[in-house]
Structure 1
């Protein structure tokens, strides 16, 4: 067997070990979430499953954990990873509000924020500004532990292995599909009793593949997993804790809002195309 063929076979073997471990750890977490109680502690267990699978794969393959891309030399990509999700989510929700697929702002959310902050509800703008600032700083940092658990596995390990046998475009799409399918039981938990499960799964898959292109670009350019962890945390916080709660719903909102509606997937697809073209020009 030639050296390239042997290296390719070893890479697939490594990926096979990783996926077996990932399925094993994730199955335990999903059993707890779906059969016992969908508490945050079980969700946290699920989110660290990719990291656990990566660490044990490295152990089995006699490779050090230090071989993962822990270092960060260029802060440029850390800044980009913070502001990029804010930009595309802002565009998506602005389109939602402009086209009447949801309305700004939800007074119930502002009241909850006012009570939480201890600021008088009469000063709504101060409440919104203060809470958004705190969520995008303190909230992002607190959430980083969970997103890091995923990103150690996805961007720290998986895409670097895939890069040995795939092009940038192929690995970005493949890792996105893996990442999306990994989330399907959660989507089933949310929408399984309704008739729109496949629609929401489809929207989420499109979004995740788009994000995977962007994250692969930032990861390879920075040679670090930290931009992806920050990006992932900002993406979650800005959608789940800020934009969606501030939006009031109507009959059409469910099919357009949040990570399971179509507006964010549409916008992230445009961003992904830009980064695919950029990666091609840079021969990434």
Structure 2
């Protein structure tokens, strides 16, 4: 059939959304809303984190049922020399951009800047006191500051399993498939909005944007779509330049490891729609600028005919057995 790519996209999205949303409404919601008692918060985090594996499962199932096999999996990167700079960028840029955005936020809202992390340290000390242990302020502040470089260096590796679960789906399958069907700018916007909507049940539950804001949950879901579009352009860009969704997984892992760090220096914890967190329009401003430049560059390359978009799976109308027959 001439339109196999579209069929494969639809199957991938249907499988991924049905599995994820089914799991979130059926398992995560009852736990999060206290319907299932006695589950420690750490376990709840794991239960929520497990949803990150469904896009990869969506790719597996789609490739199997459409007879596509595992050709062009977008895992093995292109030549080391070409790929390495983009892997390095994916690894380090999220922390740098999150810090710049937080800097812009604290310049705009200096009254919210707390360089000595008082709010966070007080909270930690109260928690420690409740268990009958006292931790000196200096010790705590040092522990927190040490966590930041550790998050930058180790975060991407520690998070690679969960983030690959997402990125093999979004950047390793959906993005190149859509890219074979539409121009690069609409492809980036569509991938970002789809990725944002995929988060909707968790966003409605307060993930990333909290609860009780005006226009809940629609405003949070819209903000998540914007955030995912911006991040999705950056993750797509490093995937396109390396030919590997692992670059996106490393960038995504770096972002997840560092994203909460900037709130340590905020008196109030900030506003997730504004900053200092990267989910906010000011806190995320450096990401927005980089994403805009990357999007412009992809568009420029497409016009010049030099956009080397990696191909996921097989082209239109071809199944796994067909190439042998054709050759």
Normalising by the residue count of structure 2, what TM-score does the alignment of the two structures yield? Answer: 0.75
Residue 24 of structure 1, aligned match among 13, 18, 26: 18
1:97 aligns with 2:110: no
CA–CA separation in structure 2 for the residues paired with 1:227 and 1:140: 10
Give yes or no for contact 1:29–1:43 (8 Å, CA) kept in 2: no
Q: Which moved more, 1:123-132 or 1:21-30?
A: 123-132
Query: Paired residue for 2:30?
Result: 35
Give yes or no for contact 1:18–1:57 (8 Å, CA) kept in 2: yes
CA–CA separation in structure 1 for the residues paired with 2:252 and 2:242: 16
Higher relative contact order (CA 8 A, sep 6+): 2
Residue 260 of structure 1: how far off its partner (Å): 4.2
Distance 1:154 1:254, change over 3 A: closer
Q: Secondary structure at the match of 1:248?
A: coil
Residue 68 of structure 1, aligned match among 63, 67, 73: 73
Give yes or no for contact 1:203–1:265 (8 Å, CA) kept in 2: no
Distance 1:17 1:255, change over 3 A: closer
Normalising by the residue count of structure 1, what TM-score does the alignment of the two structures yield? Answer: 0.86
Q: How many residues align?
A: 273
Give yes or no for contact 2:92–2:152 (8 Å, CA) kept in 1: no
CA–CA separation in structure 1 for the residues paired with 2:213 and 2:143: 35
Query: Paired residue for 1:50?
Result: 55
Give yes or no for contact 2:234–2:291 (8 Å, CA) kept in 1: yes
Query: Paired residue for 2:301?
Result: 282
Residue 231 of structure 1: how far off its partner (Å): 0.5
CA–CA separation in structure 1 for the residues paired with 2:45 and 2:141: 31
Query: Paired residue for 1:79?
Result: 88
User: What do residues 253-273 of structure 1 show as CA deviations (whole Å, max 9, x unaligned)?
Assistant: 354123543224443322221
User: What do residues 49-107 of structure 1 show as CA deviations (whole Å, max 9, x unaligned)?
Assistant: 10100110001122233531111232111101112222221111001111226313322
Query: Paired residue for 1:232?
Result: 252
Give yes or no for contact 1:147–1:233 (8 Å, CA) kept in 2: yes
CA–CA separation in structure 2 for the residues paired with 1:272 and 1:175: 14
Q: Secondary structure at the match of 1:253?
A: coil
